[in-house]
Structure 1
């Protein structure tokens, strides 16, 4: 499928091209539109993040277009280029830059149809084209049942991911979004505002909506959106915009698998299913796995077992056996630590090493080896002046 970026300083030209591309009746996704010429660094990041395979470039500004063409030439996988211009002089400019495909505004529909057919042939894997995957990883967190702690797991995992990667956490729960409350953040700008302005998002608008939490960016929800539940198309536009600027985009989804959730799940590289060790949660986790299998997403699922303790109805091995999945991370119950974290608006610090290792798993990095805990022997408690960095075991007769 064609996944295109349009670059033109003329909004009229962009609207005309959009209409002509829609008139072809072919599956074309407009991933990004620029009414300015982006910097080389920004365009490179956007192309890699969105895995764009076609660029429609207006040659109205020869200097800016040359800079963009030079940036594209240095990419490992070059997207197909189509020059657009409002006069025939653009044809000469396109040929000078080695671009063979061009369209002249106002666009002739048969010409646009031919151009799209040609692009589909170029992008067909049968003809040797190697599609590139997005450089941004989408990770989805969802509960087996409401109240399983998926938002808490998402926040602590993303805080650990953000230490090494540019990470965004999106509260996509339209009815019970908790992230703003958990982080003590002002949600005067939320995911609802991003959805309403999905078609006109830019860096300035985005900066007003996103809140920074340490190294983590958060697009929080509202306490109750009601009728403003996210529609599939705007949410996809918001995620596409975010993929151009982050290494990891994480979505905190509700438990329901509606159309919007299904689109996010199918785009996700990893799906973190959070369950608790009780009958109701495990039964619903089994149902969720069955539904995810029907969507073709079963192989993406990573299981987190939350609120484990010695008195739980099921042990970790019982959960793995009943669900047929290994538990990638088990989180011990720690009510006082969770309460303190909520009051302070911070992640649970007692869980930090656990979530650092889990974040490493999701990112495909080797987990950090746990430092061996030094335990003093009985007689060492009576030693005086021992250096903590060089523990010495004293025997009863004073010999070392």
Structure 2
């Protein structure tokens, strides 16, 4: 059998990520034989997704053999983060058995190939041959996968849909060419009302026809509004919404054709919403500075922690902020053990006028300026967050009404 010498890129490194010691012991000797001349290392646990850019950034080429069976959810989060960093990171999924549905899910999430136990030299050689065919494409211009922002309310009536809607239109100003605004709230989605649009299709249709999605079918499913494609929720409640679990088929297809995706969600709770949170690059948790909303935010953060949605991706947004009513920014951050990422001012009249017109809130209003600043920060343009002062008795008032997360 012909063994491989150095890969096309001399700086390429191979990394095996697996908490399974038997899997590491089985694959390690094979890689030494079939990837001669390639620096290979092993990581015996799943690293935090936030550590991936630092460990694998900088342009160095990495070939990652990722165990996707020891913990599927955590592995898929890592796979998604690695694939979003660009073509210099190529991931081969390691599976314990032949599971076609899960293999397809891994490939859609960004894996370039897969190996199935028991591993063999033939499998590795076949994977390397496939990578060699892909190498010219990887070295040329490759479209980056879309960045996904999930906007989630801590409780109802916090204004999350208004934020999602306005935020999507901001990305045009920041240079994104293709933007998707998706209403994935199966029960109370209101984007169609806010934007004054209708469609005979909803995201349920994209789920049902995920296996046959192409450009023509997708374009029929979305409605263009001022340069943003909008995927609507169903107009009427249907029985299928009760069984929704995973939006991956929608997001896997969309992230390959858009630059930015903004998700309008219903809540943090349940499998459907948790899987949106897992797919998102950043999760915008929306609350207000009133006590009931903040207590709901505390519960939401605890629920996300329990379901291993990393705090590193959560951005706490305080909407309808009024400094004379409710808690201050500093108190909120201290009470929730989470920094407030952005505050959006209370601007009732401007928001209501925009909603009546079915348009984004104008940039010259207080809320419009706040949305612009939020988009700039998410896009990495500025970091101008201002902190308020005055913990005092208000913090004591909050801690009497809720318990800090353990």
The TM-score, its normalising length taken from structure 1, stands at 0.61
The alignment status of 1:338 with 2:348, answered yes or no, reads no
The alignment status of 1:51 with 2:110, answered yes or no, reads yes
Q: How big is the shift at 1:147? A: 1.1
Taking the aligned partners of 2:189 and 2:260, their CA distance within structure 1 comes to: 20
Structure 2 counterpart SS, 1:162: helix
Q: Deviations over 1:46-67 (max 9, x none)?
A: xxxx53413xxxxxxxxxxxxx
Taking the aligned partners of 1:279 and 1:153, their CA distance within structure 2 comes to: 21
Match of 2:369 in 1: 353
Q: How big is the shift at 1:202? A: 0.7
The alignment status of 1:268 with 2:284, answered yes or no, reads no
Q: How big is the shift at 1:276? A: 0.8
Checking the alignment, whether the CA contact within 8 Å between 1:190 and 1:221 is kept in structure 2 is: yes
Match of 2:154 in 1: 144
Taking the aligned partners of 1:348 and 1:361, their CA distance within structure 2 comes to: 18
Q: How big is the shift at 1:323? A: 1.2
Checking the alignment, whether the CA contact within 8 Å between 2:277 and 2:283 is kept in structure 1 is: yes
Structure 1 residues 110 and 363 mapped into 2: Cα distance closer, same or farther (>3 Å)? Answer: closer
The alignment status of 1:219 with 2:231, answered yes or no, reads yes
Q: Give the superposed CA RMSD.
A: 3.7
Taking the aligned partners of 2:317 and 2:293, their CA distance within structure 1 comes to: 12
Taking the aligned partners of 2:107 and 2:117, their CA distance within structure 1 comes to: 24
Taking the aligned partners of 1:253 and 1:110, their CA distance within structure 2 comes to: 38
Taking the aligned partners of 1:122 and 1:260, their CA distance within structure 2 comes to: 38
Structure 2 counterpart SS, 1:135: coil
Taking the aligned partners of 1:221 and 1:110, their CA distance within structure 2 comes to: 41
Q: Highest Rg: 1 or 2?
A: 1
Q: How big is the shift at 1:133? A: 12
Match of 1:29 in 2: 104
Taking the aligned partners of 1:133 and 1:245, their CA distance within structure 2 comes to: 9
The alignment status of 1:281 with 2:290, answered yes or no, reads no
Alignment of 1:51-90 (within 5 A): 51-54=110-113
Taking the aligned partners of 2:125 and 2:311, their CA distance within structure 1 comes to: 36
Match of 2:311 in 1: 298
Taking the aligned partners of 1:214 and 1:180, their CA distance within structure 2 comes to: 14
Structure 2 counterpart SS, 1:280: helix
Taking the aligned partners of 1:316 and 1:121, their CA distance within structure 2 comes to: 52
Q: How big is the shift at 1:283? A: 0.5
The TM-score, its normalising length taken from structure 2, stands at 0.60
Q: Deviations over 1:20-66 (max 9, x none)?
A: x9982485235779xxxxxxxxxxxxxxxx53413xxxxxxxxxxxx
Taking the aligned partners of 1:322 and 1:348, their CA distance within structure 2 comes to: 31
Q: How big is the shift at 1:265? A: 1.0
Taking the aligned partners of 2:166 and 2:335, their CA distance within structure 1 comes to: 27
Checking the alignment, whether the CA contact within 8 Å between 1:265 and 1:297 is kept in structure 2 is: no
Checking the alignment, whether the CA contact within 8 Å between 2:154 and 2:267 is kept in structure 1 is: yes
Q: How big is the shift at 1:296? A: 3.4
Taking the aligned partners of 1:202 and 1:368, their CA distance within structure 2 comes to: 41
Equivalent pairs counted in the alignment come to 277
Structure 2 counterpart SS, 1:28: helix
Correspondent of 2:267 among 230, 252, 255: 255
The alignment status of 1:158 with 2:168, answered yes or no, reads yes
Taking the aligned partners of 1:364 and 1:136, their CA distance within structure 2 comes to: 15
Match of 1:366 in 2: 382
